[in-house]
Structure 1
Amino acid sequence: MLVVHGISLPPNQFGGPWIDDLFLGRLEPHAHPYFAEIAGLEVSAHCLIRRDGSLTQYVSFLERAWHAGRSCFMGREACNDFSIGVELEGTDTTPYTEAQYQSLADLARCLMGAYPQITCERIVGHCDIAPGRKTDPGPAFNWSHLRAILLEPA
Protein backbone atom coordinates (compact mmCIF):
# COMPACT_ATOMS: atom_id res chain seq x y z
CA MET A 1 0.00 0.00 0.00
CA LEU A 2 1.09 3.58 -0.63
CA VAL A 3 0.21 6.11 2.07
CA VAL A 4 0.03 9.79 1.13
CA HIS A 5 0.80 12.30 3.86
CA GLY A 6 0.99 16.07 4.12
CA ILE A 7 3.63 17.94 6.12
CA SER A 8 4.83 21.48 6.66
CA LEU A 9 7.49 22.65 9.10
CA PRO A 10 6.99 24.94 10.84
CA PRO A 11 3.24 24.46 10.43
CA ASN A 12 1.83 26.23 7.36
CA GLN A 13 5.29 27.20 6.08
CA PHE A 14 7.05 25.75 3.07
CA GLY A 15 10.71 25.47 2.13
CA GLY A 16 13.74 25.30 4.34
CA PRO A 17 15.63 22.36 5.76
CA TRP A 18 13.22 21.48 8.56
CA ILE A 19 11.46 18.45 7.05
CA ASP A 20 14.80 16.93 6.08
CA ASP A 21 16.09 17.61 9.58
CA LEU A 22 13.04 15.95 11.15
CA PHE A 23 13.34 12.78 9.06
CA LEU A 24 17.11 12.62 9.56
CA GLY A 25 16.80 12.99 13.34
CA ARG A 26 18.61 16.32 13.53
CA LEU A 27 15.78 18.82 14.05
CA GLU A 28 17.03 21.52 16.43
CA PRO A 29 14.32 22.07 19.07
CA HIS A 30 15.35 25.71 19.60
CA ALA A 31 15.16 26.71 15.92
CA HIS A 32 11.40 27.40 16.15
CA PRO A 33 8.96 27.30 19.09
CA TYR A 34 6.95 24.49 17.46
CA PHE A 35 10.02 22.28 17.15
CA ALA A 36 10.28 21.97 20.94
CA GLU A 37 6.87 20.22 20.86
CA ILE A 38 8.04 17.59 18.38
CA ALA A 39 11.64 17.23 19.54
CA GLY A 40 12.54 13.62 20.04
CA LEU A 41 9.90 12.24 17.67
CA GLU A 42 11.24 9.27 15.78
CA VAL A 43 9.48 9.54 12.45
CA SER A 44 10.45 8.96 8.87
CA ALA A 45 8.96 8.58 5.46
CA HIS A 46 10.21 6.79 2.43
CA CYS A 47 9.99 9.97 0.34
CA LEU A 48 9.14 13.66 0.40
CA ILE A 49 7.74 15.56 -2.56
CA ARG A 50 8.37 19.30 -2.28
CA ARG A 51 6.09 22.01 -3.69
CA ASP A 52 8.19 22.15 -6.88
CA GLY A 53 7.77 18.39 -7.41
CA SER A 54 11.31 17.47 -6.40
CA LEU A 55 11.56 14.13 -4.66
CA THR A 56 13.86 13.14 -1.79
CA GLN A 57 14.11 9.55 -0.63
CA TYR A 58 14.99 8.91 3.03
CA VAL A 59 14.32 5.20 3.47
CA SER A 60 14.74 2.31 1.04
CA PHE A 61 11.44 0.92 -0.24
CA LEU A 62 12.64 -2.44 1.05
CA GLU A 63 12.79 -1.13 4.64
CA ARG A 64 10.18 0.03 7.13
CA ALA A 65 9.70 3.75 7.62
CA TRP A 66 7.91 5.18 10.66
CA HIS A 67 5.18 7.22 8.99
CA ALA A 68 1.83 5.62 9.80
CA GLY A 69 1.78 5.31 13.58
CA ARG A 70 -1.24 3.50 15.03
CA SER A 71 -3.03 2.49 11.87
CA CYS A 72 -5.24 -0.09 10.22
CA PHE A 73 -6.01 -0.96 6.59
CA MET A 74 -8.56 -3.59 5.58
CA GLY A 75 -8.43 -5.13 9.07
CA ARG A 76 -4.65 -5.29 9.18
CA GLU A 77 -2.95 -3.17 11.83
CA ALA A 78 0.56 -1.66 11.98
CA CYS A 79 0.59 -0.26 8.45
CA ASN A 80 4.28 0.66 8.69
CA ASP A 81 4.95 -3.06 8.28
CA PHE A 82 3.46 -3.24 4.78
CA SER A 83 3.31 0.25 3.31
CA ILE A 84 5.36 2.94 1.63
CA GLY A 85 4.92 6.44 3.02
CA VAL A 86 5.19 9.53 0.84
CA GLU A 87 5.02 12.99 2.37
CA LEU A 88 3.84 15.92 0.30
CA GLU A 89 4.96 19.34 1.45
CA GLY A 90 1.63 20.95 2.16
CA THR A 91 -1.25 21.36 4.55
CA ASP A 92 -4.77 20.01 4.80
CA THR A 93 -6.16 23.30 3.46
CA THR A 94 -3.54 24.52 0.97
CA PRO A 95 -3.98 23.13 -2.54
CA TYR A 96 -1.14 20.87 -3.59
CA THR A 97 0.76 21.82 -6.74
CA GLU A 98 0.47 20.26 -10.16
CA ALA A 99 4.18 19.42 -9.95
CA GLN A 100 3.48 17.42 -6.77
CA TYR A 101 0.64 15.47 -8.40
CA GLN A 102 2.83 14.66 -11.41
CA SER A 103 5.77 13.59 -9.25
CA LEU A 104 3.52 11.49 -7.01
CA ALA A 105 1.91 9.84 -10.04
CA ASP A 106 5.32 9.06 -11.56
CA LEU A 107 6.48 7.55 -8.27
CA ALA A 108 3.25 5.61 -7.83
CA ARG A 109 3.53 4.14 -11.34
CA CYS A 110 7.08 2.96 -10.60
CA LEU A 111 6.03 1.47 -7.28
CA MET A 112 2.99 -0.22 -8.83
CA GLY A 113 5.30 -1.81 -11.38
CA ALA A 114 7.71 -3.02 -8.71
CA TYR A 115 5.03 -4.02 -6.19
CA PRO A 116 1.92 -5.34 -7.98
CA GLN A 117 0.01 -5.39 -4.67
CA ILE A 118 -0.04 -1.57 -4.84
CA THR A 119 -3.12 -0.74 -6.88
CA CYS A 120 -5.07 2.50 -7.22
CA GLU A 121 -7.34 1.21 -4.45
CA ARG A 122 -4.30 0.78 -2.21
CA ILE A 123 -3.13 4.37 -2.56
CA VAL A 124 -4.64 5.97 0.51
CA GLY A 125 -4.30 8.97 2.77
CA HIS A 126 -2.96 8.94 6.29
CA CYS A 127 -6.49 9.96 7.28
CA ASP A 128 -7.81 6.69 5.81
CA ILE A 129 -5.61 4.42 7.91
CA ALA A 130 -5.69 6.50 11.11
CA PRO A 131 -9.17 8.09 11.09
CA GLY A 132 -9.89 10.38 14.01
CA ARG A 133 -6.17 10.64 14.70
CA LYS A 134 -4.81 12.02 11.43
CA THR A 135 -6.35 14.27 8.78
CA ASP A 136 -3.64 14.48 6.13
CA PRO A 137 -3.31 14.93 3.26
CA GLY A 138 -6.59 16.74 3.95
CA PRO A 139 -9.46 18.10 1.91
CA ALA A 140 -7.07 20.17 -0.24
CA PHE A 141 -5.74 16.95 -1.78
CA ASN A 142 -7.53 16.16 -5.04
CA TRP A 143 -7.82 12.37 -5.16
CA SER A 144 -9.76 12.33 -8.42
CA HIS A 145 -7.03 14.37 -10.10
CA LEU A 146 -4.33 11.95 -8.92
CA ARG A 147 -6.32 8.97 -10.15
CA ALA A 148 -6.91 10.64 -13.53
CA ILE A 149 -3.17 11.21 -13.93
CA LEU A 150 -2.47 7.59 -12.97
CA LEU A 151 -4.79 6.43 -15.75
CA GLU A 152 -2.99 8.53 -18.38
CA PRO A 153 -0.38 6.78 -20.50
CA ALA A 154 3.08 7.35 -18.99
Structure 2
Amino acid sequence: MSEPESPRFSSALRQSGRLPTARWCPSPNFGPRPDADDVSLVVVHNISLPPEQFGGSHIEDFFCNRLDTSAHPYFEEIGGMKVSSHLLIRRDGELLQFVSLRDRAWHAGRSVFCGREECNDYAVGIELEGADQIPYTEEQYRKLAEVTRDIMAAWPAITEDRIAGHSDIAPGRKTDPGPAFDWCYFRRLLAG
Protein backbone atom coordinates (compact mmCIF):
# COMPACT_ATOMS: atom_id res chain seq x y z
CA MET A 1 0.00 0.00 0.00
CA SER A 2 1.41 3.38 -0.96
CA GLU A 3 1.24 6.34 1.36
CA PRO A 4 -1.21 9.12 0.49
CA GLU A 5 0.39 11.94 -1.43
CA SER A 6 1.39 15.02 0.52
CA PRO A 7 -0.65 18.21 0.30
CA ARG A 8 2.38 19.77 -1.41
CA PHE A 9 2.35 17.09 -4.14
CA SER A 10 -1.42 17.51 -4.61
CA SER A 11 -1.08 21.28 -4.87
CA ALA A 12 1.75 20.96 -7.41
CA LEU A 13 -0.28 18.48 -9.47
CA ARG A 14 -3.29 20.76 -9.41
CA GLN A 15 -1.15 23.72 -10.51
CA SER A 16 0.83 21.97 -13.25
CA GLY A 17 -1.62 19.32 -14.37
CA ARG A 18 1.35 17.03 -15.01
CA LEU A 19 2.10 13.76 -13.24
CA PRO A 20 5.84 13.54 -12.55
CA THR A 21 5.82 9.75 -12.98
CA ALA A 22 4.40 9.94 -16.52
CA ARG A 23 6.34 10.09 -19.77
CA TRP A 24 5.21 13.33 -21.42
CA CYS A 25 3.97 12.88 -25.02
CA PRO A 26 2.16 16.14 -25.85
CA SER A 27 -0.88 15.78 -28.07
CA PRO A 28 -2.19 18.67 -30.16
CA ASN A 29 -5.72 17.37 -29.58
CA PHE A 30 -6.90 19.34 -26.59
CA GLY A 31 -8.41 22.66 -25.61
CA PRO A 32 -9.06 24.72 -22.51
CA ARG A 33 -11.62 23.51 -20.01
CA PRO A 34 -14.47 25.97 -19.40
CA ASP A 35 -13.12 26.05 -15.81
CA ALA A 36 -9.64 24.56 -15.24
CA ASP A 37 -10.44 24.01 -11.56
CA ASP A 38 -13.65 22.09 -12.33
CA VAL A 39 -12.24 18.57 -12.51
CA SER A 40 -14.75 16.22 -10.93
CA LEU A 41 -14.81 12.92 -12.81
CA VAL A 42 -12.41 10.15 -13.89
CA VAL A 43 -13.34 8.13 -16.97
CA VAL A 44 -11.69 4.75 -17.57
CA HIS A 45 -11.29 3.69 -21.22
CA ASN A 46 -9.47 1.05 -23.19
CA ILE A 47 -7.64 1.21 -26.49
CA SER A 48 -5.58 -1.16 -28.58
CA LEU A 49 -4.15 -0.50 -32.03
CA PRO A 50 -4.66 -2.55 -34.09
CA PRO A 51 -7.71 -3.85 -32.19
CA GLU A 52 -6.81 -6.49 -29.58
CA GLN A 53 -3.09 -6.17 -30.32
CA PHE A 54 -0.72 -4.67 -27.79
CA GLY A 55 2.68 -3.02 -27.86
CA GLY A 56 4.33 -0.65 -30.30
CA SER A 57 3.84 3.07 -30.75
CA HIS A 58 0.48 3.09 -32.56
CA ILE A 59 -1.58 4.49 -29.66
CA GLU A 60 0.92 7.26 -29.01
CA ASP A 61 1.08 8.01 -32.74
CA PHE A 62 -2.73 8.09 -32.95
CA PHE A 63 -3.11 10.58 -30.08
CA CYS A 64 -0.33 12.74 -31.56
CA ASN A 65 -1.75 12.74 -35.13
CA ARG A 66 1.12 10.83 -36.68
CA LEU A 67 -0.44 7.38 -37.19
CA ASP A 68 0.84 5.69 -40.36
CA THR A 69 -2.45 4.74 -41.99
CA SER A 70 -0.66 2.33 -44.35
CA ALA A 71 0.60 0.19 -41.43
CA HIS A 72 -2.73 -1.64 -40.93
CA PRO A 73 -6.11 -1.62 -42.74
CA TYR A 74 -7.93 -0.49 -39.57
CA PHE A 75 -5.75 2.62 -39.38
CA GLU A 76 -7.24 3.87 -42.66
CA GLU A 77 -10.64 4.04 -40.89
CA ILE A 78 -9.39 6.10 -37.95
CA GLY A 79 -6.50 8.04 -39.52
CA GLY A 80 -8.42 11.31 -39.79
CA MET A 81 -9.76 11.29 -36.24
CA LYS A 82 -8.48 13.90 -33.78
CA VAL A 83 -8.67 12.36 -30.32
CA SER A 84 -6.60 12.21 -27.17
CA SER A 85 -6.66 11.18 -23.55
CA HIS A 86 -4.97 12.64 -20.53
CA LEU A 87 -3.24 9.38 -19.63
CA LEU A 88 -2.43 5.95 -21.02
CA ILE A 89 -1.40 2.97 -18.93
CA ARG A 90 0.38 0.34 -20.98
CA ARG A 91 0.21 -3.41 -20.27
CA ASP A 92 3.46 -3.26 -18.25
CA GLY A 93 2.19 -0.33 -16.14
CA GLU A 94 4.13 2.39 -17.99
CA LEU A 95 2.32 5.72 -17.67
CA LEU A 96 2.15 8.21 -20.55
CA GLN A 97 0.57 11.65 -20.38
CA PHE A 98 -0.72 13.41 -23.50
CA VAL A 99 -2.67 16.37 -22.11
CA SER A 100 -2.38 18.41 -18.91
CA LEU A 101 -5.05 17.49 -16.40
CA ARG A 102 -5.95 21.19 -16.34
CA ASP A 103 -6.90 21.04 -20.03
CA ARG A 104 -9.72 19.35 -21.93
CA ALA A 105 -8.62 16.13 -23.65
CA TRP A 106 -10.82 14.75 -26.43
CA HIS A 107 -11.64 11.31 -25.02
CA ALA A 108 -15.32 11.08 -24.08
CA GLY A 109 -17.23 12.41 -27.09
CA ARG A 110 -20.95 12.96 -26.60
CA SER A 111 -21.44 11.95 -23.00
CA VAL A 112 -23.36 12.55 -19.81
CA PHE A 113 -22.69 11.80 -16.13
CA CYS A 114 -25.34 12.35 -13.43
CA GLY A 115 -27.31 14.56 -15.80
CA ARG A 116 -24.34 16.74 -16.75
CA GLU A 117 -23.37 16.62 -20.42
CA GLU A 118 -20.01 17.03 -22.19
CA CYS A 119 -17.84 15.06 -19.79
CA ASN A 120 -14.64 16.21 -21.53
CA ASP A 121 -15.23 19.61 -19.90
CA TYR A 122 -14.74 18.25 -16.36
CA ALA A 123 -13.32 14.72 -16.63
CA VAL A 124 -9.87 13.16 -16.65
CA GLY A 125 -9.63 10.43 -19.28
CA ILE A 126 -7.44 7.42 -18.49
CA GLU A 127 -6.88 4.87 -21.25
CA LEU A 128 -5.78 1.34 -20.47
CA GLU A 129 -3.99 -0.51 -23.24
CA GLY A 130 -6.51 -3.28 -23.59
CA ALA A 131 -9.72 -4.60 -25.09
CA ASP A 132 -13.19 -5.29 -23.69
CA GLN A 133 -12.81 -9.07 -23.50
CA ILE A 134 -9.10 -9.43 -22.65
CA PRO A 135 -8.08 -9.35 -18.96
CA TYR A 136 -6.07 -6.36 -17.83
CA THR A 137 -2.71 -6.82 -16.12
CA GLU A 138 -1.89 -6.53 -12.45
CA GLU A 139 0.53 -3.70 -13.31
CA GLN A 140 -2.28 -1.78 -14.97
CA TYR A 141 -4.64 -2.11 -12.02
CA ARG A 142 -1.94 -1.01 -9.58
CA LYS A 143 -0.88 1.98 -11.69
CA LEU A 144 -4.52 2.97 -12.28
CA ALA A 145 -5.24 2.90 -8.53
CA GLU A 146 -2.08 4.89 -7.75
CA VAL A 147 -2.75 7.55 -10.38
CA THR A 148 -6.43 7.81 -9.48
CA ARG A 149 -5.55 8.35 -5.80
CA ASP A 150 -3.15 11.14 -6.83
CA ILE A 151 -5.82 12.79 -8.98
CA MET A 152 -8.44 12.46 -6.24
CA ALA A 153 -6.08 14.11 -3.72
CA ALA A 154 -5.49 17.04 -6.08
CA TRP A 155 -9.17 17.40 -7.04
CA PRO A 156 -11.27 16.35 -4.00
CA ALA A 157 -14.52 16.69 -5.97
CA ILE A 158 -13.55 13.34 -7.51
CA THR A 159 -14.88 10.77 -5.09
CA GLU A 160 -15.10 7.02 -5.56
CA ASP A 161 -18.62 7.36 -6.95
CA ARG A 162 -17.30 9.81 -9.57
CA ILE A 163 -15.14 7.22 -11.34
CA ALA A 164 -16.89 5.76 -14.38
CA GLY A 165 -16.28 3.70 -17.46
CA HIS A 166 -16.67 5.14 -20.93
CA SER A 167 -19.65 2.79 -21.28
CA ASP A 168 -21.30 4.49 -18.28
CA ILE A 169 -21.15 8.00 -19.76
CA ALA A 170 -21.90 6.99 -23.37
CA PRO A 171 -24.16 3.92 -23.07
CA GLY A 172 -25.08 2.27 -26.33
CA ARG A 173 -22.25 4.08 -28.08
CA LYS A 174 -19.23 2.83 -26.11
CA THR A 175 -18.48 -0.45 -24.33
CA ASP A 176 -15.09 0.16 -22.73
CA PRO A 177 -13.44 -0.71 -20.43
CA GLY A 178 -15.61 -3.79 -21.02
CA PRO A 179 -16.51 -6.89 -19.04
CA ALA A 180 -12.85 -7.87 -18.62
CA PHE A 181 -12.31 -4.87 -16.33
CA ASP A 182 -12.66 -5.92 -12.68
CA TRP A 183 -14.26 -2.90 -11.00
CA CYS A 184 -14.39 -4.61 -7.58
CA TYR A 185 -10.68 -5.38 -7.64
CA PHE A 186 -9.81 -1.87 -8.82
CA ARG A 187 -11.91 -0.32 -6.03
CA ARG A 188 -10.21 -2.51 -3.42
CA LEU A 189 -6.81 -1.34 -4.66
CA LEU A 190 -8.01 2.26 -4.73
CA ALA A 191 -9.08 2.02 -1.09
CA GLY A 192 -5.55 0.88 -0.27
Asked if these proteins are the same fold (TM beyond 0.5), I'd say: yes
Q: Give aligned-pair identity as a percent.
A: 62
Cα deviation, residue 104, structure 1: 0.3
The residue that corresponds to 2:69 in the other structure is 29
Which structure has the larger Rg over C-alpha atoms? 2
Asked whether 1:62 is paired with 2:98, we answer: no
The CA deviation string for residues 101-145 of structure 1, in whole angstroms up to 9 with x for no partner, is 000000000000000011111110000000000000000000000
The residue that corresponds to 1:91 in the other structure is 131
Query: Quick one: distance in 1 between partners of 2:144 and 2:91?
Result: 11
Q: Secondary structure of the equivalent of 1:15? A: coil
Corresponding letter in the other structure for 2:120: N
Query: Quick one: distance in 2 between partners of 1:97 and 1:28?
Result: 28
Query: Quick one: distance in 2 between partners of 1:151 and 1:59?
Result: 26
Query: In structure 2, which of residues 183, 187, 192 is the aligned counterpart of residue 143 of structure 1?
Result: 183
Query: Quick one: distance in 2 between partners of 1:87 and 1:41?
Result: 17
The residue that corresponds to 2:56 in the other structure is 16
The residue that corresponds to 2:26 in the other structure is none
Deviating above 2 A after TM superposition, structure 1's stretches of 4 or more consecutive aligned residues are none
Query: In structure 2, which of residues 127, 143, 161 is the aligned counterpart of residue 103 of structure 1?
Result: 143
Query: Quick one: distance in 1 between partners of 2:120 and 2:49?
Result: 22
Corresponding letter in the other structure for 1:84: V
Cα deviation, residue 39, structure 1: 1.0
Q: Secondary structure of the equivalent of 1:26? A: coil
The CA deviation string for residues 70-108 of structure 1, in whole angstroms up to 9 with x for no partner, is 100000111000000000000000000010000000000
**Unaligned stretches of 5+ in structure 2?**
1-40
Query: Quick one: distance in 2 between partners of 1:31 and 1:132?
Result: 30
Corresponding letter in the other structure for 1:101: Y
